[in-house]
């Protein structure tokens, strides 16, 4: 069953000296429970695509195309306010930046739980933190008191508190050290498995994509260069874009997320 489909997504950034096209005519579909990696070199449009899939167009961008999800469809610019926000959650690159600096961690998780009509007492907040392998006592802290890894886990706890059918994660390990990044990938894999949730992983890390994701979409210059099953593409890349990424691949992270 389809969890999220994008049709002909585009994004252009107007500028003083001309417009910059970030995304052009991108279409893709993610099935329920499926994990899809969006990969490509820096500047290829992958973060812009992730934001559009979550219904969060970059500020000032002129966007086009439509999003479809079970029970709903809308132009991408209006999708979030027409119900997409109850279906798709967003995990940003730097979790701490997504948290309200003046509110405690516990109050932010509780607010997210209440927004979807779930129990939001201290026990529910503690359970959300424990699921991210965090000390429930962190509920009393504010974001400035967290490490980068703790902030990313808290941001993931908030995203999962929405009970999304689809989670879009934008480079969730790029600002973390190897051990912490591996732990985040393991938590993502576990959440997907336990919740039956679809995952869109925006990443430059092909090793993570190969470990976590069933499918892969390769972008180049804002367009799809190739797409298909991750294992097949990694074994026999057709596009120059993926061939170049594989040629530059280094064994930076050895992740056991699939087996976790």
Domains defined for the chain, CATH in brackets: 2-87+164-247 (3.40.50.300)
**Structure tokens belonging to residue 140:** 């009393």
**Structure tokens belonging to residue 161:** 């508190």
Q: Select from 230, 150, 160, 158 the least CA-distant residue to 195.
A: 160
Q: Select from 163, 152, 182 the least CA-distant residue to 258.
A: 182
**pTM of the full structure:** 0.92
Task: Give pLDDT, residue 250.
Answer: 52
What Cα–Cα distance (Å) separates residue 144 from each residue in 99, 174, 186, 212, 258? 10, 20, 25, 30, 32
Pairing of strands 215-220, 35-39: parallel
| Beta-bridge partners for 66 | 7, 75
Is residue 242 within 8 Å of 233, Cβ to Cβ?
A: yes
Distance CA 65, CA 163 (A): 26
- Residue 56: phi and psi, rounded to 5, are -125, 70
Which pLDDT tens digits describe the chain residue by residue (260 residues)?
Answer: 999 999 999 999 998 888 999 999 999 999 999 999 999 999 999 999 999 999 999 999 999 999 999 999 999 999 999 999 999 999 999 888 889 999 999 999 999 999 999 999 999 999 999 999 999 999 999 999 999 999 999 999 999 999 999 999 999 998 898 999 999 999 999 999 999 999 999 998 899 999 999 999 999 999 999 999 999 999 999 999 999 999 887 544 444 444 44
Q: How many CB atoms lie within 10 A of CB 260?
A: 14
Q: Select from 33, 36, 56 the least CA-distant residue to 219.
A: 36
Q: Select from 256, 135, 93, 90 the least CA-distant residue to 186.
A: 256
Residue whose entry in the numeric block shows the structure tokens 């976790």: 260
**Cα 166 vs. chain centroid, distance in angstroms?**
9
CA-based radius of gyration for the chain = 18
């Amino acid at each position: 069953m389809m969890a999220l489909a994008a049709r002909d997504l585009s994004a252009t950034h107007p500028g003083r000296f001309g417009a910059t096209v970030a995304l052009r005519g991108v279409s893709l579909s993610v099935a329920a429970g499926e994990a899809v990696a969006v990969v490509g070199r820096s500047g290829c449009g992958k973060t812009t695509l992730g934001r559009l899939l979550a219904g969060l167009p970059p500020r000032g961008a002129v966007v086009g195309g439509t999003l479809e999800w079970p029970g709903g469809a809308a132009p991408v610019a209006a999708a979030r306010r027409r119900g997409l926000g109850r279906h798709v959650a967003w995990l940003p690159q730097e979790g701490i930046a997504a948290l309200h600096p003046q509110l405690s961690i516990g109050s932010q998780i509780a607010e997210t739980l209440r927004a979807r009509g779930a129990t939001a007492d201290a026990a529910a907040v503690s359970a959300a933190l424990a699921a991210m392998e965090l000390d429930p006592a962190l509920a009393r802290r504010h974001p400035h008191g967290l490490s980068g890894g703790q902030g990313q886990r808290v941001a993931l706890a908030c995203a999962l508190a929405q009970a999304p059918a689809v989670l879009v994660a934008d480079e969730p390990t790029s600002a973390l050290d190897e051990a912490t990044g591996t732990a985040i990938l393991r938590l993502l894999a576990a959440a997907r498995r336990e919740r039956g949730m679809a995952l869109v992983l925006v990443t430059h890390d092909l090793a993570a994509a190969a470990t976590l994701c069933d499918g892969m979409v390769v972008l180049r210059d804002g367009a799809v260069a190739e797409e298909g099953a991750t294992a097949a593409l990694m074994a026999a890349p057709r596009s120059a874009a993926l061939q170049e990424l594989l040629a530059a691949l280094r064994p930076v992270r050895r992740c056991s997320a699939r087996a976790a």
